[in-house]
């Protein structure tokens, strides 16, 4: 199946059960799961959730690292017509509280070793709709009377995936059953994936990529997938050999780390034929092809709200620096200026799109109708990203219009970062912004103004922030200034701070040797 057909996640599972119920479907570090095993376990958990009062349309949140329980909970939730809300496992404090409260989750499932985060976050006043908090260990005992699968359609919501906010808190993207399946079909077409392929990924199950490609895509296309708990440079080639992977779904920064690593005995004799990661610089692409004998796929562009806006058709070579070709099959794609007028080929404009099929992209931002309408200005979805298109239809990403940052594949909200910083009594004003990272994407910098009587060092502030934000959002750079650059109405000019980057007075956490546990 490589053509998009309006359908549901449950229909994809039913087809897999009919065609291959007992063949290997998902691998978790050697723990093999068949479609039948997932089906049986998710039915049991669905009965248990129903016994707790979960109904159609309710939200079930989870804070669980890559594990079978996360997949079982996902299917159990959608069986009831409820909505899965997987939360980034690095989240704690305000980041976690916001998504629990904003989604209105009625059940929250949390990994056993993260349970203290619920103690610090959940309360009747802060998360008023939350009725049950369960540990992952309690899922094994969950059960109840028989319940039928909900009669869900392609347009019914399957999950919320939260994206980083830019001028406000992170927003929940409402994703339908059909959109999740459609994305898996588009990616399979671009990768030329077949039922003979084995896809390996270290990407987290709280992002759409792993859900769509590995969990749902493997139902749709066939074959099997292996989901690593976390990424390891030294463990990469042993895992590729163990699983027999033919495709690796990663991030560009991870592909760079592997390309620059020393030789490993398991590099030879592998079956890997495609490394799918973006962005991959030309020199890294060359290493993968020449040193590892593995083709690469980095010719794609999309976001949680709409994927894939650009991709490479099968058999078409990418052009240097391009993010593939505009996907005019599932989308209409245009580049617009600030007046929402199309720009000429080669000129910079905001990448905008709309679907050609019903339920072909996100259904809006949960509880944020004004933000949804603003994003859909003049009936075009505005990505907030700038690009240019050449005469042949190749898309070139230029820059973000947003203030959000992206580090190691994770989106970071400057708004939520700044809220955490303002909790420190020494902070008078601050701006959190991106500076270019030497391995691609962004590094995080804090430019701050201190109170007149403050006695705090950059390292002190960094350690304070590290207790309140996800590990990937811990700033690398901190700079204290007397004031921040502003426009005439007082808004901080973050673009100027980004352009100035690392200055002679900037403190560098890595250079200072300050490290934190990856939690």
Assign residue 367 a region (left: φ > 0; alpha: ψ between -120 and 50; beta: otherwise): left
Helices 9-19, 35-51: inter-axial angle, 10-degree rounding = 140
Round to whole Å and give the CA distance between 331 and 169.
Answer: 28
Q: Do domains 303-400 and 405-512 have the same CATH topology?
A: no
Q: Tell me, what DSSP letter sits at residue 169? A: S
Model pLDDT for residues 41-53, shown as the tens digit of each residue: 999 999 999 999 9
pLDDT of residue 3: 56
Of 110, 82, 84, 83, nearest to 96 by C-alpha is 110
Round to whole Å and give the CA distance between 497 and 308.
Answer: 31
Spell out the per-residue pLDDT of the chain, length 519, in tens. 555 579 999 999 999 999 999 999 999 999 999 999 999 999 999 999 999 999 999 999 999 999 999 999 999 999 999 999 999 998 998 889 999 999 999 999 999 999 999 998 999 899 999 999 999 999 999 999 999 999 999 999 999 999 865 456 789 999 999 999 999 999 999 999 999 999 999 999 999 999 999 999 999 999 999 999 999 999 999 999 999 999 999 988 899 999 999 999 999 999 999 999 987 888 899 999 999 999 999 889 999 999 999 998 888 888 988 999 999 999 999 999 999 999 999 998 999 999 999 999 999 999 999 999 999 999 999 999 889 999 999 999 876 776 667 787 787 777 778 889 989 999 999 999 999 888 778 899 999 999 998 999 999 999 999 999 999 999 999 999 999 988 544 668 888 898 899 999 999 999 999 888 876
Model pLDDT for residues 246-264, shown as the tens digit of each residue: 999 998 889 999 999 999 9
Give the list of residues 6+ apart from residue 64 with CB closer than 8 angstroms, or none.
70, 73, 86, 89, 109, 110, 111, 136, 205
Secondary structure of 128-144 as H, E, C letters: CCCCEEEEHHHHCCCCC
Round to whole Å and give the CA distance between 325 and 269.
Answer: 33
Round to whole Å and give the CA distance between 109 and 114.
Answer: 10
Spelled out in words, what is the top-level CATH class assigned to the domain 303-400?
mainly beta
The domain made up of 9-230 has a fold known as: Rossmann fold (3.40.50)
Domain 405-512 bears CATH identifier 3.40.50.920 = no
Write down the architecture of domain 233-298 according to CATH.
Answer: 3-Layer(aba) Sandwich (3.40)
H-only helix segments in 364-457: 369-375, 414-421
pLDDT of residue 168: 63
Model pLDDT for residues 147-178, shown as the tens digit of each residue: 999 999 999 999 999 986 545 678 999 999 99
Question: How many other CB atoms sit within 10 Å of the CB of residue 291?
Answer: 11
pLDDT of residue 166: 45
Burial degree of 26 (CB within 10 A; 0-12, 13-18, 19+): buried
Q: Reduced to 3 states, what is the DSSP secondary structure of residue 337?
A: coil
Q: Where are the domains of the chain?
A: 9-230, 233-298, 303-400, 405-512
Two structure tokens written together for 429: 């004003």
Burial degree of 195 (CB within 10 A; 0-12, 13-18, 19+): middle
Question: What predicted TM-score, i.e. pTM, was given to this entire model?
Answer: 0.84
> Is the separation of the CB atoms in 76 and 49 below 8 Å?
yes
Sign of CA dihedral 215, 219, 222, 224: positive
Burial degree of 358 (CB within 10 A; 0-12, 13-18, 19+): exposed
Print burial letters for 409-436: b (CB count within 10 Å at least 16), e (below 16).
bbbbbbbbbbbbbeebebbebbbbbbbe
């Amino acid at each position: 199946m490589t053509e998009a057909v309006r359908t549901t996640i449950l229909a994809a599972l039913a087809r897999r059960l009919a065609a291959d119920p007992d063949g290997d479907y998902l691998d978790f570090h050697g723990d093999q799961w068949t479609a039948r095993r997932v089906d049986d376990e998710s039915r049991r958990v669905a009965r248990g959730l129903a016994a707790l009062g979960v109904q159609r349309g309710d939200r079930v949140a989870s804070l669980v690292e890559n594990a079978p329980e996360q997949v079982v909970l996902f299917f159990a939730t959608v069986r009831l017509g409820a909505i899965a809300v997987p939360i980034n496992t690095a989240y704690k404090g305000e980041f976690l509280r916001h998504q629990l409260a904003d989604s209105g989750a009625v059940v929250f499932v949390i990994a056993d070793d993260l349970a203290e985060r619920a103690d610090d976050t959940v309360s009747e006043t802060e998360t008023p709709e939350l009725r049950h908090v369960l540990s992952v260990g309690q899922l094994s005992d969950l059960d109840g009377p028989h319940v039928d699968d909900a009669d869900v359609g392609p347009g019914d919501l399957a999950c919320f995936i939260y994206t980083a906010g830019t001028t406000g808190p992170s927003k929940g993207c409402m994703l339908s059953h059909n959109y999740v399946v459609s994305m898996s079909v588009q990616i399979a077409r671009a990768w030329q994936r077949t039922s003979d392929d084995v896809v390996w990924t270290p990407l987290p199950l709280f992002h759409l990529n792993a859900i769509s490609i590995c969990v749902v895509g493997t139902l749709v296309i066939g074959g099997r997938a292996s989901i690593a708990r976390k990424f390891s440079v030294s463990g990469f080639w042993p895992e590729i050999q163990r699983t027999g992977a033919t495709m690796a779904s990663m991030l560009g920064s991870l592909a760079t780390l592997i390309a620059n690593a020393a030789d490993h005995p398991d590099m030879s004799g592998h079956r890997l034929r495609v490394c799918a990661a973006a962005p991959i610089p030309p020199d890294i692409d060359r290493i993968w092809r020449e040193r590892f004998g593995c083709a690469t796929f980095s010719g794609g562009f999309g976001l949680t709200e709409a994927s894939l806006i650009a991709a490479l058709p099968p058999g078409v070579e990418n052009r240097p620096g391009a993010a593939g070709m505009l996907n005019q099959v599932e989308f209409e794609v245009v580049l617009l200026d600030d007046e929402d007028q199309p720009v000429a080929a080669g000129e910079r404009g905001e990448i905008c799109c709309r679907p050609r099929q019903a339920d072909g992209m996100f259904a809006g931002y949960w509880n944020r109708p004004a933000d949804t309408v603003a994003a859909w200005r003049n009936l075009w979805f505005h990505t907030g990203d700038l690009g240019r298109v050449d005469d042949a239809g190749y898309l070139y990403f230029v820059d973000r219009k947003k203030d959000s940052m992206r580090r190691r594949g994770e989106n970071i909200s400057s708004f939520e970062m700044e809220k955490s910083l303002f909790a420190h009594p020494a902070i008078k004003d601050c701006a959190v912004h991106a500076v270019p990272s030497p391995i691609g994407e962004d590094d995080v910098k804090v430019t701050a103004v201190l109170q007149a009587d403050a006695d705090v060092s950059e390292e002190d502030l960094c350690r304070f922030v590290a207790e309140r934000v996800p590990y990937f959002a811990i700033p690398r750079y901190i700079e204290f200034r007397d004031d921040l650059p502003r426009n005439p109405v007082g808004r901080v000019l973050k673009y100027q701070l980004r352009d100035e980057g690392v200055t002679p007075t900037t403190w560098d956490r890595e250079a200072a040797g300050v490290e934190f546990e990856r939690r």
